[in-house]
Amino acid sequence: MKIFDNIILIPGGGNCYLIEREQECVLIDTGMSKKASKLIKTINRNFPYKPLEAIILTHSHQDHIGGTEELRKLYKPSIIAHEKETPYIEQTKKLPSFEGFGGFMLKILEGMLGSPSSKVDKKVVDNDVVYGLKIMHLPGHTPGTIALVDVENQILFCGDIINADKKGKKILPPKKAYAIDYEQALKSSIKMLEVTSPSVILPGHGSPILEPEKAIKMYLDEYR
């Protein structure tokens, strides 16, 4: 699904975003492992003459990183993640456990799909800029969760820091069941919307919010 001429949304499980730059393309998140074939088809069909130079991972949950290794083997991209999330992607450390339905479901997913580790080639921190995307470190969902802001047009790629409804009209809070620290995750979502002025919000789950001003105001009024 083309959102703009240079941005393609690949839905399913978790949203992935393929971005065309002048000389290359960049992918934000890789979905579950079974989604890799869909990503490969999308890349080859839309940008056959531009290399996939980088994959930027917003966080280490399997519905966002599962296809990384298959894509790495095929395209040899640089894998980029926040320095505090790197140990969980590389599986040198385990994410802090949490109780309830979310923790149960993550264990089920890992058991069904496996949990392949991926080497992170470039570790980023808050305010770094990579491929025209500014990094925002916004922990809570996981320790090294990030959002990315396109510095040219202020498009916000927010991972799981917030969610959106199916119509792309309403911002939904982070899911408590899947957050390592829900209170921190909620504060991070508020901070992100306070300090940015996004032209468009592209979430990890839900539909793109193409006219976000009203949705942002409603969210901040309710949760701030």
pLDDT at 105 over 80: no
What average pLDDT score do residues 127-150 get? 98
Q: Tokens representing 57?
A: 């991972």
pLDDT at 96 over 90: no
User: What CATH number corresponds to the domain at position 79?
Assistant: 3.60.15.10
What average pLDDT score do residues 187-201 get? 98
For residue 21, what pLDDT is reported? Answer: 96
* Domain with 147 in it: 2-223
For residue 104, what pLDDT is reported? Answer: 55
What average pLDDT score do residues 192-214 get? 98
Q: Are 58 and 84 in contact (CB under 8 A)?
A: no
For residue 147, what pLDDT is reported? Answer: 99
What average pLDDT score do residues 33-47 get? 93
Element holding 155 (H helix, E strand): strand 155-159
For residue 117, what pLDDT is reported? Answer: 85
In a 13 Å sphere around the CA of 160, the CA atoms on its Cβ side amount to 29
Task: Quote the number of domains for the chain.
Answer: 1
Report residue 115's pLDDT band, with 50, 70 and 90 as the boundaries: low
Q: Coil, strand or helix: which one is 143?
A: coil
Cα distances (Å, whole numbers) of residue 142 to 67, 115, 178: 19, 17, 9
pLDDT at 73 over 70: yes
Q: How far apart are CA 224 and CA 38, in angstroms?
A: 38
Q: How far apart are CA 113 and CA 174, in angstroms?
A: 24
Report residue 125's pLDDT band, with 50, 70 and 90 as the boundaries: very high
